[in-house]
Structure 1
């Protein structure tokens, strides 16, 4: 180690080394990034301006959308810049900041998914007590708790990764700064960090997944008691769309983080990471919010008012 020089920058390889493929990826991912941000921005705006979207469900969806916008900005702008310019270097401080924000915001997303599942359980299975259980104070405390717990759980392992000595190769085999790729570059044994990451992943992923599964299990049981066939089909359509997002989000994340060894970021790991960090973020606002009839009606009303105002001004 005395003959090795500390790393002053990391080189993030990305998804491909082919210039033409990178240009195609830049165009496609720019569109994905735009749709993700715009979809979530529409949800936030509608939930603020429309009086019909002031229930706890839309409060959670608004916070979820803000969270997803922040999460998208952690990865996509830097990645798009590297695809366009072929500049793949990043400073250690920038890499570690991205790592911290990625895990804090990502953890908060899983807590929000579990929290929204519980909200739907109370609304469908205990409708008479919904307003008293999910009052404004409880909703605010739940959202604040998600942020505080996420930061508390993710700050220690991230700090341990940051404090590792990096004095060998500086090539990160990923499209963002991830623990597995960084731990592979460390000069020392990282077994204790891998154990901490594994324990954190088990608590976060399996804990929130349990809440989600139990909540939707109770919801489906309640839906089956609905006498109307049309009502059952409509409810199952909404639940199936939500569960599809849950399956993609949790299956890819569990495969990636709940495993004994965190070292050795393989090409397949990048594909799995792409599913939960890009693809799932694109579909979340459209499946959770924009398919909702109240949200669609609010969107039509806002667009109608905007068009009428433009016609009057012209």
Structure 2
């Protein structure tokens, strides 16, 4: 961690806006990147929108698992919409400025949605654990009221902490450069622009990351450890295959999202590089929302059946 000496008061300047450099290091690829990210954003909106729609309309999908999937799809649309439209505008206009307030708002939204995704993935793992390990008690445990409470808790729990963390970071004095070497307002590149000692902020970031990333991830691992143990004891090979199919899809999303998030926020500050941070951020802000419907929902026979029914209508 870098501890900078606080500069004299007269050298501090009140920054009114930042400049998101994005992918300016590859100027010859600007229009290609614009087209690529536009296609990705359209895929995210359409695929997750379809999943959200059919899980609400099809009577056969009115179960706790699909209730969580519909909320997850809606979350992915929100997550991508916080970063991708601004990135597309910057690539199209080449005007990369973002106001101080807009930058803080974007960071807060990203952090809140990321915390929600961590908890929601843990809830979905718990749902599968109860369904497979305690099938007789599943209807009693996963009642509709319980599902609503779990989803509401996932959405709400991160809001006060992430608002406080955002306020703390943007209360720091900023001086000198206002160039953010990133495609959105993320914590690591913002802290690099701060003057003075950022040790407390870095400790806060690590603590929140452990609370909102590591703890849900460990809960998921515990759930899947017991779940896989139960699956292996099933006598029917068909039942084992079906159960593993559901679990493997969810685990792929978990590994992709949590892996990139943990490396970004929990690795030592001295090992951070702008290029690595951008690549990792692309995974948990863009790649995961894009592939989620394909690897987690559209492989599901019930979802495919409901989609065919909707198209036939």
Q: Provide TM-score, normalisation by structure 1.
A: 0.93
Q: Matched residues in 2 for 1:262 and 1:126: separation?
A: 46
Computed over aligned residues only, the root mean square deviation of the Cα atoms, in angstroms, reads 1.6
Q: After superposition, what is the alpha-carbon deviation per residue over 1:173-199, rounded to whole angstroms, capped at 9, x for unaligned?
A: 111001111111112221101101100
Q: Between Structure 1 and Structure 2, how many residues are aligned?
A: 305
Contact 2:54 2:307 in 1 (8 A): yes
Work out the CA distance in 2 between the residues paired with 1:65 and 1:172.
30
1:209-248 equivalent positions in 2, closer than 5 A: 209-248=217-256
Q: Deviations over 1:206-251 (max 9, x none)?
A: 1111111111122212221222323323332332232122111111
Give 3-state SS (helix, strand or coil) of 1:167's partner: coil
Q: Runs of 5+ in structure 1 lacking a partner?
A: 306-314
Structure 1 segment 40-79 matched on structure 2, within 5 A: 40-79=48-87
- Asked if 1:194 corresponds to 2:202, the answer is yes
Give the corresponding residue for 2:167: 159
More off after superposition, 17-26 vs 49-58: 17-26
Establish whether residue 252 from structure 1 lines up as the match of residue 294 from structure 2.
Answer: no
Q: 1:8 is matched with which residue: 3, 13, 16?
A: 16
Which residue in 2 is equivalent to 1:308?
A: none
Normalized against structure 2, the TM-score is what? 0.93
* Superposition map of 1:67-146 within 5 A: 67-146=75-154
**Distance between the aligned counterparts of 1:25 and 1:261, measured in 2?**
28
**Whole-Å Cα distance in 2 between the matches of residues 52 and 240 of structure 1?**
23
1:50-100 per-residue CA deviation (whole Å, 9 max, x = no partner) reads 111111111111111111111111000000111122111111111000000
Deviates further, 145-154 or 97-106: 145-154
Is contact 2:107-2:185 (8 Å) kept?
yes
CA contact (8 A) 2:12 2:174 kept: no
1:261-288 per-residue CA deviation (whole Å, 9 max, x = no partner) reads 3895521111111111111111112222
Q: Hey, what's the Cα distance between the residues in 2 that align with 1:244 and 1:263?
A: 26
Partner of 1:208: 216
Q: 1:59 to 1:199 in 2, by over 3 A?
A: same
Deviations 1:90-124 (A, max 9, x none): 11111000000000011100100000000011111
Q: Residues 262 and 191 of structure 1: is their aligned pair in 2 closer, same or farther, counting only changes over 3 Å?
A: farther
Q: Confirm whether residue 147 of structure 1 aligns to residue 155 of structure 2.
A: yes
Map of 2:4 onto structure 1: none
CA contact 1:181–1:264 (8 Å) conserved in 2 = no
Question: Which structure 1 residue ranges, 4+ long, deviate > 4 Å from structure 2?
Answer: 262-265
The gaps in structure 2 that reach 5 residues or longer are 1-8
